[in-house]
Amino acid sequence: MSDQLLALNNYRFLRAEARNFSLETLCDIVDKLTAIVEERREEQAFKGAQDAEHAKRVDKIREMMLSEGIDISELVQQEVPVKSTKPMREKRSAKYEYTDSSGTHHTWTGQGRTPSFIQKALDQGDTLDKFLIKN
């Protein structure tokens, strides 16, 4: 609920704010709020009637199906369109390799962020070809 509506729900806040308005203005506000409440009640009653009508139609169809000897599960078992899945792309093969200062061997595809070890070497003037995997 918004802060404004929370403030309107507070009795003390309303009393304090009401002191700033004339009685005529307050009566107009009450009339408008009453009209809004009535609209909401009508909307809820209409929605309830729609839901009840829908439930009646569903029951009628269910009874018609049963009288014809059709089970609901038969309808569900009908061909359901299979959602096509995007094929998985192949994993990229490593394009560069390096051994870090701790002696661990690593590879890099050339995609994404440059590994810090390679980036430091590039900053010091080395080329990327130095780390290229030779087939």
Q: Is the dihedral of CA 67, 70, 71, 73 positive or negative?
A: negative
- Residue 1: is its pLDDT beyond 70? no
- Compare 70 and 106 and report the one with higher pLDDT: 106
Half-sphere exposure of 27 toward its Cβ, with a 13 Å CA cutoff? 3
104 shares its domain with 70: no
What percentage of the chain reaches a pLDDT higher than 90?
53
Instruction: Please state the domain count of the chain.
Output: 2
Residue 44: the pLDDT is 97
Q: Which domain holds residue 22?
A: 3-74
H or E element in which residue 99 lies? strand 96-99
7 shares its domain with 69: yes
Question: What is the C-alpha to C-alpha distance for residues 8 and 36, in angstroms, rounded to an integer?
Answer: 15
pLDDT, tens digit, 9 for 90 and up, residues 25-67: 999 999 999 999 999 999 999 999 999 999 999 999 989 988 9
Residue 113: the pLDDT is 94
- Residue 79: is its pLDDT beyond 70? no
Residue 49 lies in a domain: yes
DSSP string, 35-95: HHHHHHHHHHHHHHHHHHHHHHHHHHHHHHHHHHT--HHHHHTSPPPPPPPPPPPPPPPP-
Average pLDDT of span 106-119: 92
